[in-house]
Amino acid sequence: MDWLWQVEAAAVARRERSVVSRTVRLALRELKARMSPEDVIEALLSREPDRTNSRGRPQQ
């Protein structure tokens, strides 16, 4: 998430607007070109969750 905020800050510095959703679409296109859906799921499940950010809904 921090990286996405850095992208947004870089866009603001250049007086660009609404780059977050375009950034996500670009990232998904790149991910699709490199990995199958099964590869994505395997990568997601094999990594520990990032515990550095306490935002979001608490896990139950």
Does a structural domain hold residue 42?
yes
- Please choose, from the candidates 55, 56, 24, 18, the residue with its C-alpha nearest in 3D space to the C-alpha of residue 8: 18
Domain encompassing residue 28? 2-46
Our count of domains for the chain comes to: 1
Does a structural domain hold residue 8?
yes
Amino acid at 1: M
- Please choose, from the candidates 58, 59, 55, 37, the residue with its C-alpha nearest in 3D space to the C-alpha of residue 1: 55
The CA distances from residue 48 to 5, 17, 36, 40, 43, in Å, are 22, 33, 20, 14, 10
Does a structural domain hold residue 52?
no
pLDDT of residue 3: 85
For the whole model, what pTM was predicted?
A: 0.58
DSSP conformation class of 15:
T
How does pLDDT run across 10-40, given as a tens digit for each residue? Answer: 999 999 888 888 999 999 999 999 999 999 9
